[in-house]
Amino acid sequence: MSNDLLQDAKEEIVGMGKEGMAHPSTKPVLTGAAVGAAAGFFLPLLSVPVGLIAGAGFMLYKRLRP
């Protein structure tokens, strides 16, 4: 199952790279990245880059496995 998730994530990321904002996952993943970055800015235990990556990763996961 883990290998399937990684393969699905790779395909999704490549699709987002090729299609840009036209890809259905791009906007939710960017929104998750922005929310994570904002959380990283306001929470003392998180940094902005960690929050950005965590938010984008969470939204990508939710797009792959709803």
Q: What is the pLDDT along the chain (66 residues), one digit of tens a residue?
A: 567 988 999 999 999 999 999 999 999 999 999 999 999 989 888 899 999 999 999 999 999 987
What is the distance between the alpha carbons of residues 38 and 7, in angstroms, rounded to a whole number?
Answer: 29
59 with 28: CB under 8 angstroms? yes
CA dist 51 and 66 (Å) reads 21
> Into how many domains does the chain fold?
1
User: CB-based contacts of 46: which residues, under 8 Å, 6+ apart?
Assistant: 39, 40, 54
For the record, the structure tokens of 39 come out as 């959380």
Q: Which domain holds residue 9?
A: 2-64
pTM reported for the whole predicted model: 0.84
Residue carrying structure tokens 């929470």:
43
